[in-house]
Amino acid sequence: MSSSGTATASPAGSTETRGSVELTLAMILSGTLGVFVVESGASPFNVVFFRCLFGAIALGLYCLVRGFFKNHGFTAKKIGLAALGGVFIVFNWAFLFESYEATSISVATVVYHTQPFYVVLLGALLFRDKITATKFGWLGVAFVGLILVAGVSVDDFRGGGSSAYLIGLGQALLAALFYAFATVITKRVTGVKPHLVALIQVTLGIFLLLPFASFGEMGGMGADWGWLVGLGLIHTCLMYVLMYSAYQKLPTAKIAVLAFVYPAVAMLFDWAVYGHSVSLLQALGIPLIVGASLGINLGWRLLPARPENQTTAVQAPAVAHAAPAEKITIGESR
């Protein structure tokens, strides 16, 4: 029996290891996204348009080769939900890329990574999901971390600071909010390959962004076209494939932890390529956001549970485990 148990346990461990490698690679690719956007030299809306265009071509070919179009599972309602989620996904990208220019890749990425908290709040507002005192506590921790990372002082609001920087922070927050809307909407599209959902969303993005794209600016791109092609092939098709494959192999806890490879790599590349670094005060806020996000996703207690009384047992409220945003849509949003 022991040999049989070993035989069955080994493939499971191997599968989880493979999933960890796939998700780590996907998060590393996510972390290089900002460099591709900035180095392309194109305007944010042009970047998103061509990301959608090249991504749709690559994802369409992948889905065709894998036979995903057969027995796809779509209904009119599911297509509508996928398309609605796509509207938020596309403009989420546009606002995030705008934020890169006004702040930095590091600051924009960390602020953008407050997405899970919006998901929790939207779940409470739209679906009446219960927010426990513990979740409220983690939201408070995340808010303090956000204030520190943003590096904003009272003087900034009095006109003594950079208004462009404040706008950039607002764009990153709006991008995170749009991501959260896409998350709660796409979560309701069940029984369909996520690759097909992503394909609908990026295809829709081509038509949504036509009025905003400025093709006259693209004439002198030259070799910089490679950055845009890379966004479609690497950061849309390949990254999605790796993430969706990993999600099928990994528990929620490991997905939540590995998701933070993304902002870590983004900050590393922002420092290595552009010399951008965060201040000591901003650095203090990063672990607060990371810890709060893990606490929300994994159901950690903010405070130790109260000991049971010998006469009256006092039970702490159960904390619902919120699936990490990365598990639901992060492939569809970055």
Q: How far apart are CA 241 and CA 331, in angstroms?
A: 8
Q: How many CB atoms lie within 10 A of CB 150?
A: 21
In contact, 244 and 6? CB cutoff 8 Å? no
- The DSSP result for 206-265, as a single string, is HHHSTTT--GGGGTT-GGGHHHHHHHHIIIIIIHHHHHHHHHTTS-HHHHHHHTTHHHHH
* Res 318: pLDDT: 33
Backbone φ/ψ region at 222: left (φ over 0), alpha (ψ -120 to 50), beta: left
Task: Dig out the tokens for 176 from the structure.
Answer: 């995170």
Q: What is the per-residue pLDDT across 89-107, written as a single tens digit (0 to 9) for each?
A: 999 999 999 999 999 999 9
Q: How far apart are CA 257 and CA 334, in angstroms?
A: 17
- Mean pLDDT (the chain) is 83
Task: Dig out the tokens for 174 from the structure.
Answer: 């709006």
Q: How far apart are CA 208 and CA 40, in angstroms?
A: 21
Handedness of CA 240, 37, 46, 227 (dihedral sign): negative
Q: How far apart are CA 312 and CA 324, in angstroms?
A: 36
* Helices (H) then strands (E): counts for the chain: 17, 0
* Res 216: pLDDT: 85
Q: How far apart are CA 77 and CA 82, in angstroms?
A: 9
Q: Which residue has the tokens 């969706």?
A: 244
* Res 177: pLDDT: 93
Q: How many CB atoms lie within 10 A of CB 203?
A: 19
Confidence of residue 3 (pLDDT cuts 50, 70, 90): very low
299/239: higher pLDDT: 239
In contact, 322 and 296? CB cutoff 8 Å? yes
Average pLDDT over residues 7-32: 82
Q: Which residue has the tokens 């040999």?
A: 3
Q: Is the pLDDT of residue 314 over 60?
A: no
* Res 235: pLDDT: 95
Candidates 36, 16, 23; CA nearest to 233 is 36
DSSP state of 302: S
Q: What is the per-residue pLDDT across 157-198, written as a single tens digit (0 to 9) for each?
A: 555 556 888 899 999 999 999 999 998 888 888 888 999 999
